[in-house]
Structure 1
Amino acid sequence: MRNHNITVYPFTAIVGQERMKKALILNVVNPKVGGVLIRGEKGTAKSTAVRALANLLPEIEVVEGCKFRCNPHDIHAMCEDCLEKVKTGILKISSVKMKVTDLPVSATEDRVVGTLDIEHAIKKGEKRFEPGVLANAHRGILYVDEINLLDDHLVDVLLDSAAMGVNTIEREGISFSHPANFVLVGTMNPEEGELRPQLLDRFGLCADIKGIMDVTRRVELIKSRLSYETNPEAFVASWQAAESELCGRILLAQNLLSEVNISDNMLELISQICVDMNVDGHRADITMMKTSITLAAFNGRTEVLEEDVKEAAELVLPHRMRRKPFDNHPDKQDKLNESIEKQREKEKNKSEQQKKEQKEHSGKPQDHPDEQESDNPQGSTGGQPDASSETLFSTGESYQIKQLSPDFRRNNRNGSGRRSKTLTSSKKGRYIKSKIPEEKTTDLAFDATLRAAAPYQLVREKNGNSIIIHESDFRKKIRENKIGNLVLFVVDASGSMGAQQRMVASKGAVLSMLMDAYQKRDKVGLIAFKGDSAELILPPTSSVELAQKYLQELPTGGKTPLSHGLMKGYETIKSELRRDPDTCPFMVLISDGRANVSMNGESPIQETKTIASMFRGEGIQSAVIDTESSMIKFGLAQEISTALGARYLALEDLKADSIVEAVRSSVPFDLQFPSGSFSI
């Protein structure tokens, strides 16, 4: 079981993670299931399982010498070169192992879809294609680790190709297509950010996994890994029988797939479950049907049973049930069981009604009058189910937010998102103008190139050609894109914030901004200061739901170490800028400014102003929300705002929507909020 001189860990030797393994197997049995998204912690055998499954499967037959590894027995899915070989009768067949192709998070669009040499096409009139990742993944597995960090546009491209089985590249009216049938496997850690719901829905299955908590099983895992590392060949040999058995079962399921039948009752059950789970659209119904059929085939049956539908629902619905960010997760298993029971009751009533009609039609007297009562099933109702110096405040009530969209542009930055406009070298951006390229380019502005060449056509030697283009005529596209920003919240969690429910309003404001950050694909961070120090509760991340979780659990109490909070904010932003110079940071300070704890023994207020001036010196943009609401005001937050060079916002009414409205008007870039209401 060697692959490129590496002994691959056996698939059947992986301890636990049964749902992930089942989802992978189902996609291999029936690629039309639509791929699988594996969500979970690091170190839970995600990549190991993918490579082990590919290694377990038998070799596939391909057209010898074909860069797309076309199927020699499927003329409808062949590339142009293979079709030509079929016509000339020179097609040869060879066998290769199923391939796992990795897609790095930093991949560009050209690297993914491949490129057309536009310059060659213009000069020679010939299409010349350079294969990309999708071409290499054809008839194999495309593995995308941390797919939630991949640019949304590239995720769209992957899912479109996976669904259609074809990759089409179009550049300036020149088009090229090739087969791209592959099993898409994406992995992600939800704490690092979510995929958009529209993209989540495109994955057929989803497996949520986590580390094994049973000590006995963990010990079994350790021993297996130790045995593998000590003698890989012997370890693999000990699992050979189990590997061969699973391989045979997969091949049998593939052959049995076309013979599986699914009854109308099972289709009704599938639709009933999807309706009860409030999933959008109809993709869930169709995917659950395909998965149920595949499960039946894998279990060696030609008829779909209720247990197949239930298991399919557990793989098809987890990533489709949440309708908007910050919704609480319902008890999915209870809802699923309720849907199944509801459908059983409907079938029972339907069956009894048919029996009743048959008896009435035959004229026979009804010997059991109490059976009539069964035609009117009764529903049932289930039961639904300080002495401390710190206080945990809630996050306020629902409120309406108006929308504001100031235009702000940042140039020459890379990244993704939906906040600020920027010029980009990526081909996914919108074409806005052209320029003369400094070096060879694959993003040729065809229209501008023709315009540049047009005035010289009368004096150029054409030699029978319609148009002659020189290298000096080439023009490169300038594209515009949108990127996200880093919004760092520095929140005063001292005891004074508990007065007059200040913390309730402040938490509501931050949560409202998190909703907007979710929609604009911003990164967010959260710092809280209280007592004698400040803490980076949440390092900058795209997981706004994780920020919401920490915000809700943030207690209030103690002194006000404001200088600590600002210094922690400054250090966090500088660290992010070193890691990613394209980061657009914006700091939001929410406090009354009453600093009473210093870092170095000097006046707390003066120390705070000194640190604040560092933000201004570095050009880090910020806003200060003054939560002071007493009759006598000290104006300390306003002084700190001046030192920061920030927009100062004094609010008499500390309702959450007032803070949000103020922050919105102060932000120098497009920090807008959605209209409508949502629960906090």
Structure 2
Amino acid sequence: MEAREKRLIFPFSAIVGQEKAKLALLCVAVNPLIGGVLLKGDKGTGKSTLVRALANVLPEIEVVADCSFNCNPMNPLEMCDSCYERYERGESLPIAKRRMRVVDLPLSVTIDRLVGTIDVERFLREGKKALQPGILAEANRGVLYIDEVNLLDDYIADSLLDAAAMGWNTIEREGISFRHPARFILVGSMNPEEGDLRPQILDRFGLCVEVSAPMNPEERIEIVKRVEEFHEDPISFYKKFESEEKKLTEKIVKAKELLPKVEISDDLLKLLAETVINLGIKTNRAEITTIKTAKAIGALNGRRRVSLEDLEKAMELALPHRLRDKPFQKPPQMKPPKPKDDKEHNHDHKHDHKHEHKKEEKSGSARNQGIGSLEQNFRSIEAKIPRIESKNFDGSEFTGYRSSRDVSITVVNFPKGIPVSYVPSKGEIRDVDFYNSAICAVLNDKKPPIKLEMKDIRVRVRKAKAPTLWVLLLDSSGSMAVKRRISIAKGIAEKLVESGYIKKSKMALIVAKGNQAEIFVSPTKNYWEVLEKIESVPTGGRTPLSSALYNLLLLANRERMKDKSVKVRAFLITDGKASVPLFGKRIKDEIIELAKALRKKGIELNIYDTNGKGINPGISYVPILKDIANAKVCKI
């Protein structure tokens, strides 16, 4: 069965190009302590194929034969509670060899499936509490793969990070307490267009690789030919590359054996430390991961000493995703400095002089290089806002929108969120609470083996984070050009995008300008797109405020048709003027009707009023929106 499964997977050695991604995956196979790999790239570039193909070349490992957690029989520190007790009693643990596995983590996974839960079948049959292992148990000492990792539910991601950080999974379920090792290679793939990754998760990946489709016609033709050949006859295609696959497996095994003997010189360590400092990277994880990767590369090449080339390759894999100080700061084009003598040894005094020159050259520009005009504009606007005494809704200095609490919802019979209770089932059963259902059956004087009846079934009640949509309504009419109002407005909008990124909210952008408001960005988690559109918004023309509010209502209705639990927050950045009616009525009457509709639909409206102190000709409709729509107003 195993051989058959292997042939159905596209061979690792048959993948055309993507050498950097291949190297990263082989490195973590040699040394899982590197911390995992993140593959970022557009759809259809082979990210998932690369990871699943890795299963073909992973070597065998020794495990405790009768244990569900792939415990290491040679190391008591990598044993579950049960195996450790047996080891302490002096029991001889049965040993078996198994291939390292690539375990998929579906985005729809529940917390019980992830960490493990009660073995209901055994409970019903024998009346005894026992544990049913979860995905973390299956992934121990293997590879845990998350496709579209940036779309993973927050609650699941937090539990996963806890296990990854500790190397252990602790299960506390209905009177059962159990602990088992969870030491897996975390591999994720994502399409940046669908939203960025939370910093907490990004930092867990030791290596990060940008995966892109080759732009060489010959390579693209070869990819098409190989894929067609694989689809026509997978078994024959696999046999064609079988010897190459075995060589890769042997290479990994030899590299794992050689790894403890690989050394790195003090000169290269100093070179790495200076590079990290010059690039402005604050985390020590940068050096630690780079060194482990460089040693793995050296071991894969059969060397006992890390070369400068090994170190450079490791830096390209381990440093780029750690260069950002802020969520939307573009990383510089990182190029590690080279000593004059390109050989591994003979750095000494030449080496030191080269470093001093590099320091002088980079000290003024290393932190700024490659950041891009967007980030520079963001910082310039950020510097301007405090000088005009911008305040939050509570009167404090403006730092972006901050909610006092996350919006949560109670869901019944739906497998999402934290379980808090259970209720009798009604209608279709989607999230059964097996343990409490069995308890209810026992309370009805049933004895093992227990047979559940419909009246015994209980479903879970959960608390979940409500999906949120943040809509930015940016007034860019001619009146906003007065006193640099549009620059201030764009600065506020950019800060709101950063806050939305932290909250993982969908973002949309509506621009009010001319005769009709326009939806510049439909609801998305591609925060870069929103920032770029804000940057490019032109100024001038009349103020279609009614049209902007009407578009807000339409947008909210569309999103709630997809998910009725969506909470909509709107942020109107305006000077309060309006000069274009929407339905041919008086503008004031339209604003009143639209304000009533916003309140009725439960849309939270927040207004940043750029109409500062002094004489401001014209009518401001901010007071109407404040009174009727119950809007919160921040005076800029």
Classify the TM-score, shorter chain. Answer: 0.7 to 0.9
Cα RMSD after superposing both structures? 4.7
Letter in structure 1 aligned against 2:309:
E
* Inter-partner Cα distance in structure 2 for 1:161 and 1:275: 30
Q: State whether residues 495 and 558 of structure 1, in contact with CA within 8 Å, keep that contact through their aligned partners in structure 2.
A: yes
CA gap of 1:72–1:3, structure 2 versus 1, over 3 A, is: farther
Residue 180 of structure 1 is matched in structure 2 by 182
1:539, CA displacement in angstroms?
A: 2.8
Residue 398 of structure 2 is matched in structure 1 by none
* Inter-partner Cα distance in structure 2 for 1:190 and 1:397: 26
Q: State whether residues 427 and 443 of structure 1, in contact with CA within 8 Å, keep that contact through their aligned partners in structure 2.
A: no
Does 1:14 pair with 2:1? no
Q: SS of 1:144's equivalent? A: strand
Letter in structure 2 aligned against 1:578:
M
Structure 1: 5+ residue stretches without partners? 353-372, 386-392, 407-415, 450-474, 652-657, 659-680
Does 1:634 pair with 2:634? no
Residue 587 of structure 1 is matched in structure 2 by 570
1:61-76 map, 5 Å: 61-74=62-75, 76=77
Count of aligned residue pairs for this structure pair: 586
1:54, CA displacement in angstroms?
A: 0.5
Q: State whether residues 337 and 358 of structure 2, in contact with CA within 8 Å, keep that contact through their aligned partners in structure 1.
A: no
Q: State whether residues 113 and 131 of structure 1, in contact with CA within 8 Å, keep that contact through their aligned partners in structure 2.
A: yes
* Inter-partner Cα distance in structure 1 for 2:256 and 2:483: 66
* Inter-partner Cα distance in structure 1 for 2:59 and 2:344: 41
Q: SS of 2:94's equivalent? A: coil
Residue 567 of structure 1 is matched in structure 2 by 550
Residue 193 of structure 1 is matched in structure 2 by 195
Does 1:617 pair with 2:600? yes
* Inter-partner Cα distance in structure 1 for 2:537 and 2:224: 37
Letter in structure 1 aligned against 2:299:
A
* Inter-partner Cα distance in structure 2 for 1:346 and 1:592: 66
Q: SS of 1:106's equivalent? A: coil
1:112, CA displacement in angstroms?
A: 1.3
Question: Identity percentage over the alignment?
Answer: 38
Which sits farther off after the overlay, 167-176 or 126-135?
A: 167-176
Q: State whether residues 166 and 180 of structure 1, in contact with CA within 8 Å, keep that contact through their aligned partners in structure 2.
A: yes
Q: SS of 2:621's equivalent? A: helix
* Inter-partner Cα distance in structure 1 for 2:200 and 2:421: 35
Q: State whether residues 142 and 184 of structure 2, in contact with CA within 8 Å, keep that contact through their aligned partners in structure 1.
A: yes
* Inter-partner Cα distance in structure 2 for 1:339 and 1:480: 57
1:278-427 map, 5 Å: 278-333=280-335, 336-337=336-337, 347-349=347-349, 396-398=381-383, 399-400=385-386, 419-420=406-407
2:263 aligned to which of 253, 261, 264: 261
Which sits farther off after the overlay, 580-589 or 532-541?
A: 532-541
Q: State whether residues 339 and 350 of structure 2, in contact with CA within 8 Å, keep that contact through their aligned partners in structure 1.
A: no
CA gap of 1:312–1:127, structure 2 versus 1, over 3 A, is: farther
Q: Deviations over 1:32-52 (max 9, x none)?
A: 111112222222211111111
Letter in structure 2 aligned against 1:645:
A
* Inter-partner Cα distance in structure 2 for 1:312 and 1:318: 11
CA gap of 1:292–1:442, structure 2 versus 1, over 3 A, is: farther
CA gap of 1:39–1:381, structure 2 versus 1, over 3 A, is: closer
* Inter-partner Cα distance in structure 2 for 1:89 and 1:299: 38
1:144-183 map, 5 Å: 144-171=146-173, 174-183=176-185
Q: Deviations over 1:323-379 (max 9, x none)?
A: 12333433322xx32799999999543889xxxxxxxxxxxxxxxxxxxx9999798
* Inter-partner Cα distance in structure 2 for 1:90 and 1:632: 83
State the TM-score, normalized to the length of structure 2. 0.77
* Inter-partner Cα distance in structure 2 for 1:13 and 1:104: 26
* Inter-partner Cα distance in structure 2 for 1:339 and 1:583: 56
Which sits farther off after the overlay, 639-648 or 197-206?
A: 639-648
Q: Deviations over 1:267-300 (max 9, x none)?
A: 2223222222222232222111111110100111
CA gap of 1:428–1:290, structure 2 versus 1, over 3 A, is: farther
Q: State whether residues 114 and 132 of structure 1, in contact with CA within 8 Å, keep that contact through their aligned partners in structure 2.
A: yes
* Inter-partner Cα distance in structure 2 for 1:96 and 1:435: 40
* Inter-partner Cα distance in structure 1 for 2:394 and 2:577: 33
Residue 629 of structure 2 is matched in structure 1 by 645
CA gap of 1:427–1:349, structure 2 versus 1, over 3 A, is: farther
Residue 442 of structure 2 is matched in structure 1 by none
Q: Deviations over 1:229-282 (max 9, x none)?
A: 233334333333433332332222122212212222222223222222222232
Q: Deviations over 1:446-489 (max 9, x none)?
A: xxx9xxxxxxxxxxxxxxxxxxxxxxxxx999987766742211
Residue 91 of structure 1 is matched in structure 2 by 94
1:554, CA displacement in angstroms?
A: 1.9
Q: State whether residues 66 and 94 of structure 2, in contact with CA within 8 Å, keep that contact through their aligned partners in structure 1.
A: no
Residue 453 of structure 2 is matched in structure 1 by none
Q: Deviations over 1:156-215 (max 9, x none)?
A: 433443354432223588531123232111222334333343432222111122333344
Which sits farther off after the overlay, 296-305 or 241-250?
A: 241-250
Q: State whether residues 143 and 186 of structure 1, in contact with CA within 8 Å, keep that contact through their aligned partners in structure 2.
A: yes
Q: SS of 2:264's equivalent? A: coil
Residue 142 of structure 1 is matched in structure 2 by 144
Q: SS of 2:103's equivalent? A: strand
Which sits farther off after the overlay, 61-70 or 419-428?
A: 419-428
* Inter-partner Cα distance in structure 1 for 2:603 and 2:185: 45
CA gap of 1:180–1:603, structure 2 versus 1, over 3 A, is: same
Q: State whether residues 118 and 131 of structure 2, in contact with CA within 8 Å, keep that contact through their aligned partners in structure 1.
A: yes
Which sits farther off after the overlay, 525-534 or 505-514?
A: 525-534
CA gap of 1:380–1:54, structure 2 versus 1, over 3 A, is: same
1:421, CA displacement in angstroms?
A: 5.8
Structure 2: 5+ residue stretches without partners? 370-376, 396-402, 426-431, 440-457
Q: SS of 2:381's equivalent? A: coil
Q: State whether residues 197 and 320 of structure 1, in contact with CA within 8 Å, keep that contact through their aligned partners in structure 2.
A: no
Letter in structure 1 aligned against 2:257:
N
Residue 23 of structure 1 is matched in structure 2 by 24
Q: SS of 1:139's equivalent? A: coil
Q: State whether residues 560 and 595 of structure 1, in contact with CA within 8 Å, keep that contact through their aligned partners in structure 2.
A: yes
Letter in structure 2 aligned against 1:270:
L
Does 1:207 pair with 2:190? no
CA gap of 1:623–1:153, structure 2 versus 1, over 3 A, is: closer
* Inter-partner Cα distance in structure 2 for 1:579 and 1:227: 41
Does 1:40 pair with 2:41? yes
CA gap of 1:424–1:284, structure 2 versus 1, over 3 A, is: farther
1:502 aligned to which of 478, 481, 485: 485
1:601, CA displacement in angstroms?
A: 6.5
CA gap of 1:281–1:405, structure 2 versus 1, over 3 A, is: farther
Q: SS of 1:589's equivalent? A: strand
Q: Deviations over 1:370-427 (max 9, x none)?
A: xxx9999798658989xxxxxxx98735134666779xxxxxxxxx996346667899
Q: SS of 2:322's equivalent? A: coil
CA gap of 1:417–1:33, structure 2 versus 1, over 3 A, is: farther
Q: SS of 2:38's equivalent? A: strand
* Inter-partner Cα distance in structure 2 for 1:476 and 1:379: 63
State the TM-score, normalized to the length of structure 1. 0.72
